[in-house]
Chain A
Amino acid sequence: DGGITQSPKYLFRKEGQNVTLSCEQNLNHDAMYWYRQDPGQGLRLIYYSQIVNDFQKGDIAEGYSVSREKKESFPLTVTSAQKNPTAFYLCASSTLGQGPYSNQPQHFGDGTRLSIL
């Protein structure tokens, strides 16, 4: 079945440690996104990518890094510079429309919950 796979479902990080969250999609979508979700807040965009080997910062990119070496993969690294990494992280993907009024809805994975030990 086509979809987005995030792993692991739960992740624990020690202070000062980098961790990488995996996101893989087999929907042949061009665009991929990473969001952070905190209690009482909506999703906030961390990074997004519209094409392989290119990505842009979202609203809260500090302390995070990404890569897009393959179309189907968009891993997110939470670095030690991220002072408050405990959150629920969601990956999404979408096709890129052409022409006006053709933005496509985003499809989401099941998320990864990151906690600090």
Chain B
Amino acid sequence: AQTVTQSQPEMSVQEAETVTLSCTYDTSENNYYLFWYKQPPSRQMILVIRQEAYKQQNATENRFSVNFQKAAKSFSLKISDSQLGDTAMYFCAFMAYNTDKLIFGTGTRLQVFP
């Protein structure tokens, strides 16, 4: 069975600084997807970034980028130039190829302060 582990329950960062959220996963699958979702206080889940396991190049979306280390089964999220609106819970999620089941980590609460 696949598992996703987020070892940092809470993180904080000053506005305009950079922060990295950690995520590790365990799977015997070779083909899969990894996601980072953001859940602000409004509780809506918003997709931040997505990585296909077969791609060696790390995904980037504006200020968000990932460090995907397939051999180490690590998928960290880097937020550059942090903004107050980045304050939220961040969930790492795994989906094996050809399934529709997302496996979520327990989340990291990020607080951005002025």
Contacts and interface: CB of A to CB of B under 8 A. Distances in A.
B75 interface: no
Given A42-B4, A42-B105, A96-B100, A110 B33 contact: no
Question: A41, A90, A105, A107 — which one has the most chain B CB atoms within 10 A of its CB?
Answer: A105
A85 interface: no
A41 B106 contact: yes
For chain B, which range describes its interface: under 10, 10 to 19, 20 to 34, or 35 or more residues? Answer: 20 to 34
Contacts of A41: 106
Interface in A69-117: 88, 90, 92, 94, 96, 100-101, 103, 105-111
Question: B50, B54, B104 — which one has the most chain A CB atoms within 10 A of its CB?
Answer: B104
For chain A, which range describes its interface: under 10, 10 to 19, 20 to 34, or 35 or more residues? Answer: 20 to 34
A81 to B, nearest CB: 23
B54 A101 contact: yes
Nearest to B95: A103
A20 interface: no
List 9 A-B pairs, minimum CB-CB distance, nearest first: A42-B104, A108-B45, A43-B104, A111-B43, A105-B47, A42-B106, A110-B44, A42-B105, A31-B100
23 contacts: A33-B100, A40-B9, A40-B106, A41-B106, A42-B91, A42-B104, A42-B105, A42-B107, A43-B91, A43-B102, A43-B104, A44-B104, A48-B100, A50-B100, A58-B101, A92-B45, A101-B97, A103-B33, A103-B97, A108-B37, A109-B44, A110-B42, A110-B44
